[in-house]
Structure 1
Amino acid sequence: MSESGGRASEPAFKARELDASDELAGVRSRFVLDDVVYLDGNSLGALPAAVPGRVEDVVRRQWGELRIRSWEESGWWTAPERIGDRIAPLVGSGAGQIVVGDSTSVNIFKALVGAVRLARLGDPGRDEIVVDATTFPTDGYIATSAARMTGCTLRPVTPAEVPGVLGDRTAAVLLNHVDYRTGRLHDLPALTAAVHAAGAVAVWDLCHSAGALPVGLDEHGVDLAVGCTYKYLNGGPGSPAYLYVRRDLQARFDSPLPGWNSHAEPFGMRPDYEPADGALRGRVGTPDILSMLALEAALEVWDGVSVESVRAKSLALTDFFLECVARYVPTGRVESLTPAAHEERGSQVALRCADAGEVMERLIERGVVGDFRHPDVLRFGFTPLYVGFGDVERAARALGETLGAGGGAAG
């Protein structure tokens, strides 16, 4: 490694300086971590330290001792909306617009069919669903089924093509805020405005943005949104997803999955369905209490943390990683698929590499955990709450050595 420019030019020294000035460094102690550099939080977040004790209490005391009384005495019944209100500030939503429960896929189905029904209240002739052609596969599967169910034509296009295909036939548009493969951040404000200008309903998938960057659901007038909680929100494997329904749309939101839990009188056992008021009509069946209350405990790591500070660190981490990759990895060995521009970047870096699967296996053996996406993508997720700049430097150095740089400068 070249010494020209002095010690401050060395990535390892720079990492120590950045860690020393990191205002979020103390949050790391709120997680259960080891010596592994964990850069897969965009797939499954690390375990918050408060969760094991809370789950034990839920199982031993709330379930084991209070039993059915916990629906009232332990607040089980109100958990979906209570935890939704806890998530709300992280995605720029006011209280009373988010309900937690079911999987991301189920919530996308509810949102997309509900969006078509909303659009047709104003224009029954709207018969087209526009979907992000680069989306996570499940979103596409759900959109296909929703189109078939509602008698719509499905129109897959890239997010950049969306404004040009919108028209008076468009009922709903389903888009990902951040591309799961490349980490590209799409322009939610501009695309939402374009959808509204066409008289359609905007549905956003926030799985790779919630907890990593400001979303601004209320500010930008998003109609409906869905997100998971096991990535940057660190809710645990299979933790429940959430559904956002903008306040002024709630009275007209017609869920395709009406269940007893979303009934205006859930214990009335009436044969006819009457939806509850507000976001509660997004509920379906009995909440998954164990994983839901684990999520509630996990969200405590956000106490005193602003999304803006997380975004600032996310950009600094990904900038530094790209800088270290340029320093350590042999020239031409990898290609970044993640945009360099901050306004187009989420909180991950995706590198194209010819033998990506094997490379990731070797990195994991060295204690650097990212993930591999077929056929040739190395994916590294940066969760600012627990990833430090020293982790970033170590990961890039391990990547360089794995790819044959021997730890030295790459060109």
Structure 2
Amino acid sequence: MSNQENSLNRQLKLIHVVVLGLAYMSPFAVFDTFGIVSDITSGHVPIAYLIVFTAILFTALSYGKMVKIYPVSGSVYTYTQRIINKNLGFLAGWITFLAYLALPMINALLARIYLSAGIPAVPGWVWIVLLLLIITLVNLIGAKVTASVNLILVVFQFLTGIIFIVLTIRSITVENQSPLFTFNTLISESLEINSLFAGASLLALAFIGFDAITTLSEETINPKKTIPRGIILVAVIGGVFFFTVTYFMQTLFPDVSVFNNIEGASPEIAAIIGGNLFLALFTAGALTSVFASGLAAQTSASRLLYAMGRDNVLPQKFFGYLHPKTKTPVFNILLIAVLGLSSIFITLETATSLINFGAFFAFSIVNICVIVNFVKNDNEKKFRSVLTNIVFPSLGLGFVIYLWVSLNWYAIAFGLCWIILGVVYLFVLTRGFQQDPPQVNFDELEG
């Protein structure tokens, strides 16, 4: 079978790409982290988001540059393989998959937490199995259907967020009769730089999602134009939403120590500003976020595995297979669902650690790819080119390295074990590194 025949359907437009990116990012994550980060930063969550958004934007620009050169589904795997080294490219895909695999686990765990709290009589594992079953069935139908479902879910999340903002504003101006805009919400005497960056390092995870849409390049119409736009739009929309929501939350509650549970500060705020009726709506929004993010994560992970399978880096008959009718990598989708069942046995902290390691590696290597590609191929070292191809990715890389330093020992230890496993597999695949790993003909895929 030729590469052209064994290819994904180009059917996604900008709206589909943006929606899948936002769903993967999970806008409602802003509520899950508010109490913890507000405590760490002494009430400066909005400015922490502003810092991390500025830093993440540099990495988003790097992804945009790479997808213009290689508009295929392999994402960081393809970029590294083509620009730096074929063996390192395999390891990039191997490590990045760790993050894509862990996000469905996290969403399954969150579904269990939310639903078990509301319906404690049902065993927690039932909710995990049910979530994975539903997102798998939707993904098997096709990427466009997945995007359409996520459009509804993302719109619901943003509408709930907007209602949250309106009710918070009412509480600030009407009930508390306080000024709506105050500089102290951003910067006050209690601000400490170290704690601010510690909080920012946690919030960086909220932006994971803009990079995942690069795995949809082969299913996107005019990917060299659409995907870079989608990347920036997802990062900007997420950044504006996160900043706005936390600004008004922090204005209303500058000190989160007043809450019974800092980790559950947002539901308490929802009950305070809107009563039990809005709390029910807010809980529905949280569950919607879990479902949408899990759906998008499974889509991205299956496409990354497909790219590696098509290249025969992973067994082609399984990982490189597409259903002849739906043009979806059905075996990959089913495999990710089965692996996701491991969330029955692991903790939320463990799954988060896996995402941290895989995502930060991907962010680092993409920034390096931009720099290496520029040094190799750009003969005209003009100021603007140096700025966008050396300075910007270097800033993005520097921030990601800081995030690496902040990882806990478990994430680093598990990540290193995963790398060693990948090296062993690559050693066998290339017969002791005497051969290059297989790769697909890129020219046949571009379109």
TM-score (norm 1): 0.29
- Higher strand proportion (structure 1 or 2): 1
Considering Cα pairs closer than 8 Å and 6+ residues apart, tell me whether 1 or 2 has the greater RCO.
Answer: 2
- Higher helix proportion (structure 1 or 2): 2
